[in-house]
Amino acid sequence: MIPLVFGVTTVTFALIHLIPGDPVELMMSNTRQMTQEEINRIRDKLGLNDPLPVQYVRYVTNLLKGDMGISIRSRSPVRYEIEQRMPDTIILTLSSISLVLVFALPLGIVSALKRGTWIDTASMTFALLGVSIPQFWFGIMLMLIFGLHLDWLPTVGQGKTPIEFARSLVLPSVALSLSLMGLVTRMERSSILEVLGLDYVRTAHAKGLGARQVNYRHALPNAMIPVLTVISAQFASLLGGSVVIEKVFGWPGIGRLAVDAIFARDYLVVTNTVLVFAVMVVLVNLATDILYSYIDPRIRFQ
Amino acid sequence: MKIRSILALATLVFVLALSITPAAADGHCPQEGGTFTIGVDTFLPMDPNTAAHDWTFYAITNINSMLFRIESGQPVGDLAESWDITDDGTVYTWHIRPGMMWHDGNDVFPEGESREVTAHDVVYSIYRQYDDESSIMAADLRNLFVSAEATDDHTVVLTLSGPDAIMYDKARGLTFTAIVAPEAIEMYGDDYGLNPLGSGPFEFVSYSPDEEVVLRANEDYYIDPCLDEVIFRVMPDVPAAMIALEAGDIDWWGSVTPGDDVGRFQDNEDMTVLNFGCPVATRLYMSVDKPPFDDVRFRKALSHMKDGNAINAALRGPTHVKGAGTAGPGVAGYVEGLYDEYHSYDPELAMSLMDEMGIVDTDGDGLREWDGSNLEIPMFAWNSDPAPDYVAAMVDAAAQVGLTIRPEIADPGTNNARRLDGEWGIYLGQGWCGEGGTNALWGRNGWISSLGYEDEEIFDLLDKSAQNLNEEEREAQLQAATTRVAALYFEPAFGFFNIFTVKNNYVKDFFGGEWTLNLATDDHNVWINEDER
Amino acid sequence: MAQQIADLAPEGEFSELARPKSFWYKAFQQIIRNNRAILGFSVLLVLVLAAVFADQITPYDPYKVNYSNYKQPPSAEHFIGTDELGRDSFSRLIYGARISLMVGIVVSSISVTIGVALGAIAGYFGGIADMIIMRIVDLMQAFPFLVLAIALVAVFGPSLRNMMLALIVVYWIWFARVVRGMVLTLRETEFIVGAKAAGASDIGIIFRHILPNVFPVVVVQGSFSVAEAILIAAALSYLGLGAQPPTAEWGSMLSNAKELMRILPVMSIAPGVAIMVTVLAINFIGDALRDALDPTLRQ
């Protein structure tokens, strides 16, 4: 895990410095009117004129001391910037995953058990639509319909009170969860179908267990494993996918921070957010493995 | 200042007489309390040394006192009640308003334990900007700076080595200098921007990055703000922000409003469109030090081959203003008629100029050749609206006269890097508003100097105007510089656009942001009419 | 999304040595009996025809600006109106099919090729090759997909070609992983061990025995990845990192239409619907292919 995280950090550091463009100039050119002379002075002061290896060594030594450095754009500690946004992204991600669990899972199960009926057709069409609609576009449409025309929900930002916060979470979560919903519904359906076709389920049937019992005791738990895999694998891409959604809905998360930082050439912010992403992905994979062994004791760590 | 106040009072009485809502008995706030929510597209920590966005300064100028504010384009008193300037323009004496207190009830000054803001704090704040080489203090002020000292608790003397005519200009000179508390800088150090502390009309409450900043009224301020609370809400997606504005989720959109929305809001009875008062030019720059751009005929051809005015009108909608030059209408140095003289649509002229230069189509494919092959010019632009549309329009216009333009659109960082490298081609560019902007752009070491824009005569005119305190002479020098830029570079112009901001009508006595955001001043005290909300 | 389905591809059921002709015949039969597949193919065919013959069927030149006729609402002359430069949106929409389909097909076929080749090498030969390839795969998987793609496009410089390049760089690893997994299992099967013992060359075994077995799964996943590449490309273009204006591309049309959303909602709706229909059609086909080709689902 440590070499992996180290590799990710190094690659990101190199990558972000390969991008042409100067952070100081970018920061200033929006509204401030600065001559080249002024820009060079600031660059110098911020250590951006040092050779890259020097900057890299400085970054790594600081990181080992727990210091992520200073953001060029905001001039506040990168650690602060990340800590401030971390909970927002996690909440958004978790709320999307819960939407998936609440809606997509039952849909997939029903679909499989009622295979071939109109319920199956309808939910499979929904699922396919889910993976076929561009997320950002869906977000904009949601905003137009529910935020503006119907005026049911706030369009952007976060509410302050718990109720308002929950309300403001609805549209971005729905937009973000859409494709995962589609994916999980499909996955759940096919893995249940697969499990139902397996020997031990047939055996259970043969032993005279009722269909309902077979389904709930044997088929469902086993069909959960692939779904869990999907969700855990998707966790990384949910984090990354929240980039666009966070941008559209003005959600102050870490994905948006990363992308804004790439465009602002805010080198240390990019490197450190990607580092945090990588650690999270690794941790989620670890957690999934542990969950596996709970659901299916036959699976053990190698 | 007296006459100003009387005038202001007269205006206020007149306005109140006209207004339907009866004023409160004391004539102060028709309605007290209320939260003013301001939408902005970006926001950064609020250290005046490093904050690089106007919107951030909107908050800073309410948390911190400034020496002066800008209202209707003119400097008005804030922390400095008044000031005198010597005739040679090198010594400023600022008279600090007595009785201004630092915000209390925080880690630095516990409730009731605040102290008065003195001249020494002002000197401290000026030197903090001057000593920190990475601060955003403008170079022209930095270069002229000699000293700042407090002669007593309420007098600051600022000495410059020469006169500075853009002391009050938007985003140049002293307009950057917010007065900070030395105790707060000591306590927070580099984190001061996350915990700003000042003596302005509003106190800092909280800051969540990329989300919002909350300020509350400072009851110890020498004016009682009508508003209870001011919130800056960050909305990076402009169309989403427009929806929020219309839905009343934000009361004022403080960043630039796209042209189409301006048109819609102008028709909306519940909204008011406010003019920032500083039109911005859209034009082309080019690598003038490289052929064929070094030939004035080619620059002229580029300028005349497109219908800049029509393109600008289509792309800027109701914000479009016809014109050309380094300064827009209403800004010092504006020259009337520059567009018609240097940039009018005349493809015939453009073609004959190129013919004259020998840039002609010899192989009959309809495309002009130069140096043995088809002339294909890269056009660099950044990737946010409406820049790419200007590129599309140029591609189309060039095709009409047998030229090929290759779009090279990239994110702003990459686009800047190309300009800094002076890559061969043409660049879409936007001007800056105000005379400080004219200086930073076309002056020595200016923003586009890497492309070879170097002309001693222009430098000279701008240098002189920047130090000329005689307004008429300065205007003449700026106009001469502007005309010289047009005649020499033909910097192909499209036109200007107005920066409009939009507020909901229930926000009263509010006239938009200039470079300072004035929510509670001698003349205006913003309030919210909750009955109309 | 496709890649996660791929992650779960079966690793065990490759007993047939070379698939009999009847396998493909049966699959074909099954596909043409599938209504959705037929619908998908028909829609795709229309899109492909539209893309190929765009020059002939569009009523207007998609790049021709017209300042006297901009931001028009839908009308008989302009089915979905004109944009901010007076260009006909419908013509641009049709040209957009070209770019989207091209991106989807090019990105997925190149990444499939690279992924299959490297996956097969890693799985078959093992050792150092395997270690290096899998380290790269692990490393790239730790990156958030979209953030990496965005950073890569920023490094290369935003353009249609560079966006495709960036997508390929992040895409091939999924195929490499799947194929490696399958090859690892295949390598131990009797028929390959037998072939080896009979003195068949490694290259021969890979081409004659391994790739044919891997092929059906790759086709299925490849078809899903076409759909996904189109979606991601649209998102990147929306962020201004893909096809650059004035190119008529759906994602950048959407980002253009953003500003006009309130006065000309049709400009925001139409390209989104176009993307959705295209992706849906491809997913229909992918589903049918999976049902027909994936051994685990054949019953």
The per-residue pLDDT for B101 is 94
User: Does position A52 have pLDDT exceeding 80, yes or no?
Assistant: yes
Q: Which region among A289-298, B387-396, C176-185 has the lowest average model confidence (pLDDT)?
A: A289-298
Is residue B517 pLDDT above 50, yes or no?
yes
Query: What does the pLDDT read at residue B201?
Result: 95
Tell me the CA distances in angstroms from C72 to B386, B512, C69, C75, one per residue in order.
18, 32, 7, 8
Confidence of residue A208 (pLDDT cuts 50, 70, 90): low
The pLDDT assigned to A298 comes to 56
B305: pLDDT strictly greater than 60:
yes
Q: pTM value?
A: 0.82
Is there a single domain that holds both residue B466 and residue B446?
yes
Element containing residue B17 per DSSP (H, E): helix B2-18
* B33 vs B217: CA distance, rounded Å: 9
Residue B22 has pLDDT above 50, yes or no: no
Cα A204 to Cα A109, A296, C168: the distances in Å are: 19, 18, 46
A-B contacts (CB, under 8 Å): 177
Query: What average pLDDT does range A162-176 have in this prediction?
Result: 89
**3-state SS class at A58:** helix
A141 touches chain C (CB under 8 A): yes
Q: Range with the lowest mean pLDDT among A38-47, A213-222, B479-488, B492-501?
A: A213-222
Please determine, for residue B68, whether its predicted confidence score (pLDDT) is greater than 80: yes
- Would residue B342 count as lying in a domain? yes
Q: Which of B238, B393, B414 sits opposite C157 (nearest CB)?
A: B414
- Most confident of the following: A224-228, B51-55, C175-179: C175-179
Residue C275: name the closest of C56, C47, C4 by CA.
C47
Task: Please check whether residues B355 and B302 belong to one and the same domain.
Answer: yes
Q: Give yes or no for a contact between B462 and B438, defined as CB atoms under 8 angstroms apart.
A: yes
> Residue B18: is its pLDDT beyond 50?
no
Tokens (6 digits) for C224: 């899903």
Q: Has residue C37 got a pLDDT over 80?
A: yes
Of B351, B352, B408, the closest CA to residue B377 belongs to B408
Q: Are residues B51 and B90 in the same domain?
A: yes
**Residue A156 to residue B240, Cβ atoms within 8 A:** yes
Identify whether residues B216 and B312 lie together within a single domain.
no
Across B15-19, B357-361, B407-411, the highest mean pLDDT is recorded for B357-361
Contact criterion met (CB < 8 Å) for A84 and B47: no
pLDDT at C298 over 80: no
Q: Are residues B98 and B45 in the same domain?
A: yes
* Rounded Cα–Cα distance for residues B202 and B59 (Å): 9
Mark whether B109 and B254 lie in a shared domain. Answer: yes
pLDDT of residue C2: 38
| DSSP string for B68-106 | EEEETTEEEESSEEEEEE-TTS-EEEEEEPTT-B---SS
Same domain, residue pair B250 and B389: no
pLDDT digits (tens, 9 = 90+) for C49-86: 999 998 888 888 888 888 778 888 888 888 888 888 88
The predicted structure's pLDDT at residue A209: 63
**Domain hosting residue B393, numbered range:** 280-497
Counting the structural domains of chain B, the total is: 2
Judge contact between B81 and B533, C-beta under 8 A: no
Residue spans of beta strands (DSSP E) within chain C: none
- Is A131 in contact with C152 (Cβ distance < 8 A)? no
What is the distance between the alpha carbons of residues C110 and C126, in angstroms, rounded to a whole number? 23
Q: For B207, which residue in chain A has the nearest alpha carbon? A: A84
Amino acid B261: pLDDT: 85
Token pair for A180: 């995962």
Paired strand residues for B176: none
User: What is the dihedral sign for C-alpha B60, B62, B67, B70?
Assistant: positive
Q: Is residue B270 part of a domain?
A: no
Q: Which of B306, B490, B284 has its CA nearest to residue B378? A: B284
Strand partners, B520: B525
pLDDT at C299: 36
Query: Higher model confidence: residue C32 or residue B226?
Result: B226
pLDDT of residue A300: 45
Q: Is the pLDDT of residue A229 over 90?
A: no
Q: Closest chain C residue to A182 measured between Cα atoms?
A: C1
Taking domain A84-301, whether its CATH number is 1.10.3720.10 is answered by yes
pLDDT of residue C281: 94
What digits encode the pLDDT tens for the residues B267-287? 999 999 998 888 889 999 999
Domain chopping of chain A, boundaries: 2-64, 84-301
Range from A252-266, B159-173, B504-518 carrying the lowest mean pLDDT: B159-173
Residues B42 and B90 in one domain: yes
Q: How far apart are the first and last CA of chain A?
A: 16
Q: Is the pLDDT of residue A214 over 80?
A: no
Q: For residue B94, give how far its alpha carbon lies from the nearest alpha carbon of chain C (Å).
A: 46
Residue predicted with more confidence, B108 or C216: B108
pLDDT of residue B172: 66
Contact B389 C261 (CB under 8 A): no
pLDDT at C105: 93
In a domain, B101, yes or no: yes
Distance CA B340, CA B152 (A): 56
Interchain contact, C280 vs A132, CB within 8 Å = yes
Quote the pLDDT of residue B24.
38
Closest approach of chain C CAs to the CA of A103, in angstroms? 18
Choice among A19-33, B402-416, B446-460 with the minimum mean pLDDT: A19-33
pLDDT over threshold 80, residue A204: no
What is the DSSP code (8-state) at residue A143? I
Q: How far is CA B356 from CA B353, B371, B429, in A?
A: 5, 14, 28
User: Is B167 a member of any domain?
Assistant: yes
* pLDDT band with cut points at 50, 70 and 90 for residue B251: very high
**Closest CA in chain B for residue C240:** B383
| Residue C296 reports pLDDT greater than 60 | no
- Would you say residue A260 has pLDDT above 70? yes
Judge if B337 and B351 occupy the same domain. yes
Whether residue B121 has pLDDT greater than 90: yes
Is pLDDT above 80 for A297? no
Amino acid code (one letter) for A66: G
Q: Measure CA B290 to chain center.
A: 32
Residue B435 lies in a domain: yes
Which of C144, C264, B431 lies closest to A277 in space, CA to CA? C144
Q: Which of A85, A111, A136, A189 to mutate to test the interface with C (most CBs of C within 10 A)?
A: A136
pLDDT above 80 (res B325):
yes
Confidence of residue B322 (pLDDT cuts 50, 70, 90): very high
Contact B379, B407 (CB under 8 A): yes
pLDDT level of residue C295 (50, 70, 90 thresholds): low
Concatenating the DSSP letter of every residue in A100-142 gives IIIIIHHHHHHHHHTTTSHHHHHHHHHHHHHHHS-HHHHHHHH
Mutation test of the interface with chain C: which of A2, A22, A131, A260, choosing the one with the most C Cβ atoms within 10 A? A131
Q: Do B391 and C245 touch (CB under 8 A)?
A: yes
Residue B508 has pLDDT above 80, yes or no: yes
Q: Which two tokens stand for residue A192?
A: 């249940």
Calpha distance B132→B56 (Å, rounded): 19
> What are the strands of the beta sheet with B500-504, ordered from one edge?
B202-208, B212-217, B229-234, B35-40, B252-253, B500-504, B271-275
Pick the residue with more confidence: B44 or C107? C107
Q: What is the mean pLDDT of residues B294-316?
A: 93
Lowest mean pLDDT among B50-54, B129-133, B505-509, C263-267: B50-54
Residue A296: band (very low, low, confident or very high) from pLDDT cuts 50, 70, 90: low
Confidence grade of residue C159 (pLDDT, cut at 50, 70, 90): confident
Q: Which amino acid is at B311?
A: I
- Within 8 A by CB and 6+ apart from B34, the residues are B226, B227, B228, B229, B527, B528, B530
- Nearest by CB to A132, from C5, C152, C276: name it: C276
Whether residue B25 is predicted with pLDDT greater than 70 in this model: the reply is no
CA dist B331 and B348 (Å) reads 33
Full DSSP string of A165-177: HHHHHHHHHHHHH
Provide the chain A residues 175-194 that lie in CB contact (below 8 A) with chain C.
179, 182-183, 187, 190, 193-194
Residues 210 to 249 of A: which have CB under 8 A from any B CB?
Answer: 247-249
Q: B448: number of CA atoms within 13 Å, CB side?
A: 26
What pLDDT was estimated at residue A32?
57
- pLDDT for B21 beyond 50: no
Give the 3-state DSSP-derived string for C8-55, with helices as H, strands as E and coil as C.
Answer: CCCCCCCCCCCCCHHHHHHHHHHHHCCHHHHHHHHHHHHHHHHHHCHH
Place of tokens 């427009």: B242
Is there a single domain that holds both residue B298 and residue B206? no
Per-residue pLDDT at C201: 84
What pLDDT is stored for residue A95 in this prediction?
A: 92
**Between A226 and B303, where is the model more confident?**
B303
Q: Which residue of C has its CA nearest to B393?
A: C65
Check whether B264 has a pLDDT greater than 50: yes
Contact B411, B382 (CB under 8 A): yes
Are B221 and B339 in a shared domain?
A: no
Select, from the ranges A26-30, B130-134, B426-430, B433-437, the one with the highest average predicted confidence (pLDDT). B426-430
In a domain? residue B23:
no
Q: What is the chain B residue with the closest CA to C264?
A: B260
Residue to mutate among B322, B409, B423, B428, with most C CBs inside 10 A, is B409
> What would you report as the CA-atom Rg of chain C, rounded to the nearest whole angstrom?
22
How remote is the C-alpha of B339 from its chain's centroid?
23
CATH number at residue B85: 3.40.190.10
Domains delineated in chain C: 34-293 (1.10.3720.10)
Arithmetic mean of pLDDT over chain A: 82
Average pLDDT on A158-173 reads 85
Task: Answer yes or no: is pLDDT of A299 > 70.
Answer: no
pLDDT at position B465 is: 87
pLDDT higher than threshold 90 for residue A227: no
Distance of CA A94 to CAs A89, A238, B506, B531, C146, Å?
Answer: 8, 10, 38, 40, 19
At residue C6 the predicted structure's pLDDT band, cuts being 50, 70 and 90, is very low
pLDDT at A217 (0 to 100): 65
Residues B488 and B511 in one domain: no
Give the distance from residue A237's alpha carbon to the nearest chain B alpha carbon, in angstroms: 22
Do the Cβ atoms of B478 and B435 come closer than 8 Å? Answer: yes
pLDDT one-digit tens code per residue, C263-292: 788 888 999 999 999 999 999 998 888 888
* d(C-alpha B532, C-alpha B503), whole Å: 13
Q: Please enumerate in sequence order all residues whose Cβ is within 8 A of that of C29, keeping only pairs 6 or more positions apart, or say none.
A: none
The mean-pLDDT minimum among A135-144, B165-174, B323-332, C171-180 falls in B165-174
Query: What is the predicted pLDDT for the residue at C247?
Result: 84
Q: Closest by alpha carbon to A168, among A87, A84, A257, A249?
A: A249
The pLDDT of residue A210: 65
Tokens of C213: 């077995």
A245 touches chain C (CB under 8 A): no
